[in-house]
Chain A
Amino acid sequence: MNKKLAVAKWEFMEKIKTKAFLISLILTPIIMVAFGVLPSLLAMKPDESSVVIGIIDESRAIATSLAQKVDEKYRLPDGQPNYMIRELFDGTSADELKTLGNRMIANDEIEGYFYIPATVFDSGMVEYRAENVGNFRTQERFSRTIEEIVIEWRAKKEGYDPLLLRRLMANIDVRSIKVTGEGEEKESGFLETFFSAYVIIMMLMFLVLTSGQLLIRSVVEEKSNRLIEVLISSCSARDLMVGKIIGLSGLGIVQVTLWAVIAFVISAKFNASIFQLDIFLIALIYFFLGYLLYAAIFVAAGSPATTEQEAQQLTGYVTLLLVFPIVLAMPVMQNPDSTLVKVLSFIPVLTPAFMVMRMPIQMPELWEFLATIALLIVSVLGMMWVAGKIFRTAILVYGKRPTISELIRWLRAA
């Protein structure tokens, strides 16, 4: 046991001091936040001053109510109107007006203009011209408002009361309420279920990737500098393997814990309760077993590698295994009780991800928990045995990569 710990301590202390680890520790959450949050924050950012929008209203029936509605609905944070409407129509031809409008855009007098042809009530066609047509918010707000006016106009023409119509067409708000196994009601948004499962699986993935890659790298390094021979003339290959797994897992746990804290702080800020305790505890069991299984797969796949490139390649394949459940996340969430999903839950490499995803949506039955956990434990033990055998021989293979038949021979060897 002492030697395992000595190996674990060494791997942990030496790797945690490296720049590469510190960079990935800090940079990854920043990148993830940047990718996930920044675009929507930018898009949601309100305008800072009133935007002037031109209207060429050939129908003569829209501009006024449009200006009124937009003024009612959209205000800047300081209370000023968000949009100033400039009526450009003066009786001249549409082409001349468009030329005028384009010049005004070029001179920055207006942000853009809507061209509403006289036929709008029949065709429903409106044009928007602007330098920046990528500003979806302005377009969306105006087109929705113009649509309202057009619908009201059509309704009036057909003899319906526009107010009545609006009431009839009121949106439906769906509140989803989850019924737990005991028949209790529990309000839960989609976000909550989505996050609790997804966050755990993502963490598992990151933990496996971090520790797994470090593990293969360290084996490849020790092979290339031949220290492996000194190591296994000092302790057993098993001690070495287990020590490495413990030490590098510690490293992964540091990383994931730090990220979890960041995620927790952010979610607390948005008042989203992510975890339910019971689910979280069962998820931890799957997390732990899943981690051991993947670590063993990493050792088995990675220890025959003799160069950094080979290691990279092999890690790539294992990573695909990890990404697979995440690709399947959506169908699982939509249909957690389907036979296919149930069957797939029994494939050991998919079990942790699938069970964790299913739990918050619809609790699997007790026998499923027991059976999958039992199966997972058996496969962890089996995979660890295989990994140990391969590791024992592979660490002494320097030159060429072993063939499959050689790998099988190693497994048979005592």
Chain B
Amino acid sequence: MLKVTNLRKVFDRIIAVDSVSLEVKRGEVFGLLGPNGAGKTTTIRMILNIIQPDSGTVTFNGLPFREETWNIVGFLPEERGLYRKSKLINTILYFATLKGMSERAAKPVAMKWLERFSLVDSAHRKVEELSKGNQQKVQFIISILHRPQLLILDEPFSGLDPVNQILLKDILLELRQQNTAIIFSTHQMDQAEKLSDSICLINKGRVVVEGSVADVKKRYGKNSVHLEYEGDGSFLGALPYVRRADVYQNYAELELSDMSQTRDLLTGLDGKLSLRKFEIVEPSLHSIFLNVVGTPGSAAAQPRKATA
């Protein structure tokens, strides 16, 4: 469906996106991950033809962006907003007509979605009378009403309560079933891990990790240990064979430099913590993310300058 090749964009000598390539098939959920300012939004904007890349190509079903492409993509931007003074249903229908639908065809579909999101009673109310979360649902409806082949969602889950997060997740999986290609960006790694078929992790404008979730995890190997315990775990990060430690109150995720050292770890803990659980697992996307992106202040977290 979507094929992005060697995309590059420079703003004021800062390289926002550099040789980004990715491919999304229909019926696939694609997680676009990365820290703030990594270049996710810029990449999305170039895919949607909102801004022009300095170099690289974007094709849809093998063709470059054309007049018709506008009608087969749907987009939910990260920062939300609607026409505050307009009626819900009118707003939805306006965007449907911009996507090439007739109002007559769009209306029943709009009502169906409003019903699904329990907003049917508000159809003729003004947007400003709705809560933020409900406005976000309206924007989501706008992005999917015309049944796009490619749906791009920038941080779709932020701002939704748990009930609506589940509703949104269910709908995304339905759309996937109906052969929609879905790209979504997020900071919530557990979300991405549960939903995505493939992921792409961008940092400082470059793709650092990509592939199917299973592949990525396999590539990063089984070098993670999850602990549940009682006691003070603050010493864990200082152990010699622990490469990185993510320590919470009664829980810790450790990454070892070598898996053969699990035995050393276990003996090292003896007498210091009362263990409830000791588990050798695949790394979570979360830990892969931290691994690749680095901790705040580390060299990996500084923006790169273009040497032009």
| Interface set of A (CB-CB < 8 Å, partner B) | 2-3, 6-7, 10, 13-14, 18, 221, 224-227, 229-236, 396, 414
Evaluate contact between A226 and B97: CB separation under 8 angstroms.
no
Q: Does B70 contact A (CB under 8 A)?
A: yes
- Which of B82-90, B248-256, B284-292 interfaces with chain A? B82-90
Evaluate contact between A224 and B81: CB separation under 8 angstroms.
yes
Evaluate contact between B83 and A396: CB separation under 8 angstroms.
no
With beta carbons under 8 angstroms apart, the residue of A6, A224, A414 that contacts B52 is A414
- Across the interface, which residues of B come within 8 angstroms of A10, CB to CB? 94
- Which of B22-30, B43-51, B170-178 interfaces with chain A? B43-51
- Looking across the interface, which residue of chain B has its beta carbon closest to that of A406? B12
- Min CB gap B139→A, angstroms: 8
Q: What is the bound-complex CA distance between A225 and B77, given in angstroms?
A: 10
Evaluate contact between A226 and B79: CB separation under 8 angstroms.
yes
- Min CB gap A405→B, angstroms: 12
Q: Does B75 contact A (CB under 8 A)?
A: yes
Q: Does B142 contact A (CB under 8 A)?
A: yes
- Looking across the interface, which residue of chain A has its beta carbon closest to that of B79? A226
Q: Does B243 contact A (CB under 8 A)?
A: no
CB-CB under 8 A for A233 and B73, given A6-B98, A10-B94: yes
7 sample A-B contacts, Cβ–Cβ < 8 Å, listed by A number: A3-B100, A6-B97, A14-B83, A230-B76, A230-B77, A231-B98, A234-B99
- Specify the main secondary structure of chain B where it touches its partner: loop
- Min CB gap A200→B, angstroms: 33
Evaluate contact between B82 and A225: CB separation under 8 angstroms.
yes
With beta carbons under 8 angstroms apart, the residue of B51, B70, B86 that contacts A234 is B70
- Min CB gap A226→B, angstroms: 4
**4 smallest beta-carbon distances between A and B, as pairs:** A225-B81, A234-B98, A6-B97, A233-B48
- Across the interface, which residues of A come within 8 angstroms of B90, CB to CB? 13-14
- Looking across the interface, which residue of chain A has its beta carbon closest to that of B41? A229
Q: Does B305 contact A (CB under 8 A)?
A: no
- Min CB gap B11→A, angstroms: 11
Evaluate contact between A232 and B82: CB separation under 8 angstroms.
no
CB-CB under 8 A for A230 and B51, given A7-B98, A10-B94, A225-B81: no
Evaluate contact between B99 and A226: CB separation under 8 angstroms.
no
- Min CB gap A207→B, angstroms: 23
Q: Does B132 contact A (CB under 8 A)?
A: no
- Min CB gap B174→A, angstroms: 22
- Across the interface, which residues of B come within 8 angstroms of A2, CB to CB? 97, 100
Q: What is the bound-complex CA distance between A231 and B77, given in angstroms?
A: 11
Q: Does B218 contact A (CB under 8 A)?
A: no
With beta carbons under 8 angstroms apart, the residue of B75, B85, B143 that contacts A18 is B85
Evaluate contact between B98 and A3: CB separation under 8 angstroms.
yes
Evaluate contact between B49 and A233: CB separation under 8 angstroms.
yes
CB-CB under 8 A for A396 and B48, given A10-B94, A226-B80, A227-B81: no
